[in-house]
Every structure is written in structure tokens, then in C-alpha cells.
Amino acid sequence: MARVRQSPVIAWDRAPTPDAATQHPQYALPLAETGHGPTPVSVTATKVRRLWFCIYLPNLPLEACGPGDKALVVIEEQQGVHRVLLAGEHACAAGVLPGQSPNAALALLPTLRLEERSVIREQQVLELLATWLEQFSSFVCIAGPDVLLLEIAGSLRLFDGLQSLRQQIAAGLETQGFAASLAIAATPLAATWLARGRRRTCIRELANITAALRQLPLHCLDWPPAATESLRGMGVTNIGDCLRLPREGFARRFGVKRLLQLDRALGRLPDPRNSWRAPERFCADFEMTEEQDDRELLLAICRELLLAHEKFLLARQLGTQRLLFTFFHLKAKATSLPLGGVQADRAADHWFGLLRLRFEQLSLPEPVIAIRLRGGSTQALHTESGRLAFHGKAPREQYYSMTQLAEQLAARIGNESVHGVTAVADHRPQYAWSARDLFATKAADVLTRIRYGLKRPLWMLPEPALLTMRDGHPLHQGKLRFVEGPERLETGWWDKDGIARDYYTAMNPAGVGLWVFRNRNCRRDGQTNGEAAWYLHGIFG
């Protein structure tokens, strides 16, 4: 029973691969489904059902120039002459039409802004959109200069059904200022053509695709004008007419490529796509139309960049520890502002807090014309689990974590001024500890197992201080009284910093416990004339 019910599904999935089909002689079958001849040989059989969501952006050249300006006109050079490509809302109302010369458009509406079309900028906008779309599907592909495709069969359950997903994407596009035509179909090409034809349809079943495509005019195919014109001359005006043509003749006249496209759109052939992958490092620029020195405004722009950065990392479930802001000036060298965190993070608010602290101290030599934000190397973000509240002893109420505190302190007083400590297994007192970098990617293991049985002072002088002598006796605010010692510490020849010292615990007349030593390498430092020198190295505190 099950096999009978499944048979139509298998039928659409079993189709020759494109390469096999073009070479196979038996592939010469009519385009029309009611045609004669054998069906394509089944080569692959996948049971995965796919659903493609197409976003067609007809006004992308206009929208890429920035939102909000309704009197904007995008012009493009066509055969050496500038022509209006697209006109904004106000320009349209004034009668500006695509194809007009810029002068004609200016005569109709003197206040309009002319902007040259930039394909690179459109591509950047498309990539930004693709990045944003990655939250809805793991498979996003840029299918053309103005078309984005998403595979959504796997996302339906997560986003609570087709209707809800469609609404979320549509609302998101609208808030970002894009007028998009959306269509959903079981094959990527069918979805693209339906979107180009402005059909707000959803074709979930493969069997229904032919019927849906039949009425679409030829321009939806986005074929070269020559092919379209030639088809029109034959009296073919829509895809339905196209499908009625004999396969062999169609392939000879218009190329196998077009025939393959039709087959792929109908689901007779598989249509593999490459998923778009955003670069792993974030880099975004914000260019201003004029120089700015309003610091609040610059901060607001930085915040926008940080928000974009957060979205970028969110789609990848990553965080970063380092960021670099670069402020460009027209005449002076660019000012850079690196930011670092103890822990990888992506939250824009967190980075903005750090930026604000550092930005206060930053001096800009000139007004700023552009800001660039470059993200550091990324790493998987580890989030901490929350704590359950039913333990007897309530945990300390934390307003912010240690890492945040260290970041705040370091942001204001400098990275090198905030550090931890660790003990090092070395007998020489000056090497028995080291500063621990709280900002290191991997925290150095803190030696906690070492247990010193030896008496050591709590305060250490950065460098041993030479003690004055009287009658061969060291002085520190008076004559020293030795309490313990000597403890002989010797050698370190392996790193050329050998010592030979006798350490004593001594009390000075003021009642302060001191850790002093007699240097037995008196010849080496040459400060005393052959006599053993006494140094103060620590205070017992």
C-alpha cells in the first residue's frame, strides 16, 4: 500500500543527472508532459523533499543606495549614454520613467538626486541580506544579481509553519527597506520565475508546478533578449507555450541549456545549488557623505556597526575577543581603536560599553569621513548555564561578572595594569611567581598545588634594594636584628641569571619584619669592593 502511495513522489525525484541527460540519446523526449516516449532514466533517488523560498528584489539598484531618499534616481550607462534605470517614489510621481536621460529627469523634478548604479554595492547589500537570512535557513544562496534563494523545508517546524516563516521574512525585509517579491515552490527555478512574475504563490507539490508556470510571461525566464524575441516571433508568449514545443527542435534552436532549465524548473532534473557562506571575519564600513566630528553621532554609527557585527556572529554561533575600529580622515592618517575582551562575546551592548570607555580618551586629529569595524578571529561561544535557586546558601549577587569587571578596568586604565598572579616552580625568589594575563585566550594553569613550607614575605620589592652598612652590619632605619637564617639559595646557570644568596629574616628597630640577603656573588655586581653586599628583598607585612 505504502509503495503505491509513494509512487508519484518517487517519480519526480528519479531523473537523470544533467550530464547524463545531455549526452543520452533517449533523452529526446517532448517537453510537454502529455508527450510520447520513455520517461527519463532514474539515476539518483533521494527521498528528501525540498521547498525553495525565493526573494526577488526588483528595486535593488535603488535600495542599495541607502534607504529613505524618495527623490533618488539611479542612472546607468547604456551604450555610452546615461539613462534612468530606476526612479524613487517621488521621482516616479513627478513623471520620471526608466529610459529617460538624466537631464529630462532633472527637468521634471529639479530636487532629485542622481546616483550612478554600482553593481559592487548591490552585491554587498545582497551579501548582507544573505547573512541576515542565514537565521532562517542553513541553506541560503545568491542565485543572481537580484535573487536570493532559501531552502526552507527544514525550517518549517522551527518557525512554526510556512505562513509564519513567510511573514517573518517579509516583515524583516520591509523594515530593512526592501520591496521584495516572494514566491515558494518545490524547485529553485520555479520559485525564481514565480517571484519574477510577481506571483504570490506557494507550490508545495511538484505535480502542480507545470500548471503554475504555464501562465508566466517569457520575461520571467530572464533569458537573453534575442531568445525571447525569437520565441515571441514564433507566437510563444508564455512558459506554457514553450512547453508545448518539441524538445529536439527547441534544443537545436535555443540551446540545450534552456531546455535543461525548463526541465529543472519542472523538477524532472535535479537542480543542485551551492550554499552561500559568509566570510568568517566581519568587516564593515560606514561611509559618510560629509566629514563629521560630532562624537555622539560617531558613537551612534559605531553602535550600528556593532549591531551588524552581532548579527553576523549570531548566525554562526560565534564570538570574538578582539575588535578593531578604524576612523578614516580626509587629510590625516586613519586612527585605529582596538578593543579586547577577556571572554569571547558578540553582544553589541557589551562591546559598546567598552567602546564608550575607550572612545572618551581617544583623540581624533581630524573630522571623520568613514568608520570601519573589523572583527577579530572568531571562536565558538560558550555560554554559561544559569544557577538553580534552591541551594541553601544564596550565591553572591553579581551585577556583572569578573570578566566584565576586568574588561572595564582594562578599558580605562590599560590592559597591562590589570592582571592576575600565579606561582611558578622556581627556587629563585624573583622567578617564583609571574603575572597572569587575564586576557589570554586560554588562561594559564594556576599552580595551586605547590605548598611552600618555606617562610616568604608577603611584600616583594620589584628590585632588591642595596642596604647601607655600618661596621660590616646592614642598616634599615637602624641596626637590624636577625631572627632566622641563613637560607642559602643558589644558581640558575641554565638561563644565565644565577644567584648565590644567603637570605635572613630580620627585624628593624621599628618592628618591621624584613627579608634581606647577603649577595655572595660580590665580584659580579662590582658595587662593593670585594665585601659581601646586603640587600633588602621583601617585607613580611
Partner 1 sequence: MWRGRGQPRASEGLPSGYEQLDRHLPGGGWPQQALTEILIGQYGIGELQLLMPALASLCVEDPGADHIEPGWIAWVAPPFQPYPPALQKWGINLSRVLIVRPRNDSEVLWSAEQALSSGTCAAVLLWPQALDDQASRRLQLAAEKGASWAVAFRPLTARSEPSAAALRIELSAGSRGTRLSILKSRGGSPAVLHDVV
Interface residues with partner 1 (CB under 8 A) are: 387-388, 391-393, 395-402, 404-406, 408-409, 412-414, 417-423, 429, 432-433, 435, 438, 446-448, 450-452, 454-462, 510-514, 538-541
User: Given the complex with partner 1, which of 206 and 514 has the nearer CB atom?
Assistant: 514
User: Given the complex with partner 1, which of 321 and 404 has the nearer CB atom?
Assistant: 404
User: Given the complex with partner 1, which of 452 and 494 has the nearer CB atom?
Assistant: 452
Q: What minimum distance in Å lies between the beta carbon of 483 and partner 1?
A: 12
User: Given the complex with partner 1, which of 10 and 446 has the nearer CB atom?
Assistant: 446
Q: What minimum distance in Å lies between the beta carbon of 444 and partner 1?
A: 10
Q: What minimum distance in Å lies between the beta carbon of 407 and partner 1?
A: 11
> Whose CA is closest to 270, among 20, 52, 14, 53?
14
Q: What minimum distance in Å lies between the beta carbon of 413 and partner 1?
A: 5
DSSP 8-state secondary structure symbol assigned to residue 256: H
Q: What minimum distance in Å lies between the beta carbon of 180 and partner 1?
A: 46
Outline where 27-177 has alpha helix (H).
60-63, 89-93, 102-108, 119-133, 161-175
* Contact assessment for residue 75 and residue 102, using Cβ atoms and an 8 Å cutoff: yes
User: Given the complex with partner 1, which of 103 and 385 has the nearer CB atom?
Assistant: 385
User: Given the complex with partner 1, which of 4 and 388 has the nearer CB atom?
Assistant: 388
Is the bond into 486 cis (omega within 30 degrees of 0)?
Answer: yes
Instruction: Say whether 528 sits in a helix, a strand or coil.
Output: coil
CB atoms within 10 A of CB 95: 13
Helix (H) / strand (E) element for 277: namely none
Q: What minimum distance in Å lies between the beta carbon of 429 and partner 1?
A: 8
Q: How far is CA 526 from CA 142, 302, 418, 466, 530, in A?
A: 75, 58, 36, 13, 8
How far is Cα of residue 321 from the mean position of the Cα atoms in its chain? 13
The C-alpha cell that represents 152 in the structure block: 526552507
Determine the longest span between alpha carbons in the chain, in angstroms: 121
* Contact assessment for residue 484 and residue 503, using Cβ atoms and an 8 Å cutoff: no
How many whole angstroms separate alpha carbon 156 and alpha carbon 136? 9
How many whole angstroms separate alpha carbon 398 and alpha carbon 203? 53
Q: What minimum distance in Å lies between the beta carbon of 319 and partner 1?
A: 20
User: Given the complex with partner 1, which of 83 and 419 has the nearer CB atom?
Assistant: 419
Q: What minimum distance in Å lies between the beta carbon of 461 and partner 1?
A: 6
DSSP 8-state secondary structure symbol assigned to residue 479: B
Question: Cβ contacts of residue 30 below 8 Å, gap of 6+?
Answer: 36, 37, 246, 247
Burial profile 279-314: b = 16 or more Cβ within 10 angstroms, e = fewer: eeebebebeeeeebeeeeebeebbbebbebbbbbbb
Instruction: Say whether 125 sits in a helix, a strand or coil.
Output: helix
Q: What minimum distance in Å lies between the beta carbon of 347 and partner 1?
A: 17
Q: What minimum distance in Å lies between the beta carbon of 499 and partner 1?
A: 16
User: Given the complex with partner 1, which of 482 and 540 has the nearer CB atom?
Assistant: 540
User: Given the complex with partner 1, which of 259 and 418 has the nearer CB atom?
Assistant: 418
User: Given the complex with partner 1, which of 204 and 427 has the nearer CB atom?
Assistant: 427
